[in-house]
Amino acid sequence: MNFIVINEPFQCLNCGAKVPTQKGSCRNHCQVCLYSRHVDAEFPGDRASQCEGLMAPTGLTQSGKKGWILLHQCIKCGRTIRNKLADDDNMDLAIALSRNPLP
């Protein structure tokens, strides 16, 4: 099994949008619908998971230094992972998520 290249454009599995790379960050979620893919096992960017399930955005939380953190839950295995929100992500959707009660 090959490692997945960390920072390259990909096509969203949920909405089909082409997601460009982001400078200085390893983006792993769609900027349009905020869906992600379960490729990280222990921490963002490790690409150690072999699940590869679709991850739904479930909430937004703020973490002092890091700024806004997007919470994703894997539809396949149920694991939750936190991801930093990017500047060009869909802010309307992110704000709607921030009103969700956190799990």
Residue among 15 and 91 whose Cβ is closer to Zn ion: 15
Judged by CB under 5 A, which of 41, 48, 77, 96 binds Zn ion? 77
Tokens of 90: 């869909």
SS3 at position 96:
helix
d(CA 77, CA 55): 9
- Count of other CB atoms within 10 angstroms of residue 60: 20
For residue 93, the minimal CB distance to Zn ion (Å) is 10
Q: Does 27 bind Zn ion (CB under 5 A)?
A: no
d(CA 56, CA 54): 7
Judged by CB under 5 A, which of 11, 15, 46, 87 binds Zn ion? 15
Q: Does 70 bind Zn ion (CB under 5 A)?
A: no
Q: Does 81 bind Zn ion (CB under 5 A)?
A: no
- What amino acid is encoded at 94 in this protein? A
Residue given tokens 């295995």 in the structure block? 77
Residue among 75 and 102 whose Cβ is closer to Zn ion: 75
Binding site for Zn ion (CB under 5 A): 12, 14-15, 17, 30, 32-33, 38, 51, 53, 74, 76-77
